[in-house]
Amino acid sequence: MPVSLRGEFLVLLRNRKWWIVISGLTLLMFLTGCTAATEAITTDQMSGSGSWWTRNVVYWFSLMLDKFAEWFGGEYGLSILLLTIIVRTIILPLMIKQYKNTKAMQALQPEMKKVREKYKDDPKKQQEEMMKLYQTNQVNPLAGCLPLIVQMPIFIALYTSINKNIEIREHTFIGFELGLSPNNSGHWYYYLIPLAAAITTLIQSVMMSKQQTMVGPMKGLMYIFPVMIFVMAINFPVALPLYWIYSNIYTIIQNYFMYSRSPKPAVVDDAVAPKQNQKSKKSGKGKEARGK
């Protein structure tokens, strides 16, 4: 394997955030594709379910959605919107902490690069020095994963509540039956919801990329991720990609205010740096020759 390609592959492996995202999406695809169709029941029936997950987690999500829908005259689409705002506001402190941690990690990039170059033949020592660097500067490389870990159970619980709650499954919001997936709807316009989910995901990813330098496979994943969202959304009940759209819009607005005044980090690509160094050395020798 070429050195540059191997380096990019190792960078991808080190980015635990992407592995958590991919693992979570794989789990959601498994739940959608492999779970047998369940009988629709009421929220009250969920409270007496024999399943611990349904009784203690899904029930409360279903209850919140029912209560919020009552406030909006039975509109579950608006109920999901309110739930989204509440959930995203609760995890907002985690997002702010993630943002600060990301900026700290960017500031450490030159030092991290020196450690990798110094101990490139000793992975164990390199890892030890990296941990010392993180501890000295009070940076947590896993902080960026925490908001994702918090949201994954929400996605799964929401999917299950939509799949089980008879009120949500049979409700229609702006012409879309929330319990029906685009692939099973028989109507072309149902695909507008997955498309909107993919587009808002792409906008969110592009905004993040302006603050985090991405190269190689990491940059490719930024464009693959919205495609994965679209493929899953066409198989999910409409209510779930609707939640994603609301969540993405919230994140886009949040990132606009969070990143709008933050300059893009100036990070030099490892592959370009040696060439620039060689050019500077040659120019230096040329000046010395002319001086002589």
At 199, the pLDDT band (50, 70, 90 cuts) reads: very high
Can you give the pLDDT at residue 23? 54
Per-residue confidence (pLDDT) for residue 290, from 0 to 100: 52
SS3 track for 161-213: HHHHEHHHHCCEECCEECCCCHHHHCCHHHHHHHHHHHHHHHHHHHHHHCCCC
Cβ contact 246:199 at 8 Å: no
Higher pLDDT, 229 or 291: 229
- What pLDDT is recorded for position 262? 58
| Residue 22's pLDDT band (cuts 50, 70, 90) | low
Give residue 276's identity as a one-letter amino acid code.
Answer: Q
Q: How far apart are CA 241 and CA 270, in angstroms?
A: 38
Average confidence score pLDDT of the chain: 75
CB atoms within 10 A of CB 242: 25
pLDDT in tens, 174-196: 999 998 899 998 899 999 999 99
Instruction: Compute the average pLDDT of residues 19-29.
Output: 53
Summarize pLDDT for 92-148 with one digit per residue, the tens: 887 777 777 777 777 777 888 888 888 878 788 888 888 888 888 777 766 666 667
The sign of the dihedral angle between the CA atoms of 118, 124, 127, 132 is negative
Residue with tokens 């959601």: 28
User: What are the pLDDT digits (tens) for 243-278?
Assistant: 989 999 998 998 888 776 555 554 444 444 444 444
Q: Are 238 and 181 in contact (CB under 8 A)?
A: yes
Question: For position 27, what pLDDT does the model report?
Answer: 52
232 contacts 25 by C-beta, under 8 angstroms: yes
In this structure, the chain runs to a length of 292
Tokens of 269: 């690509």
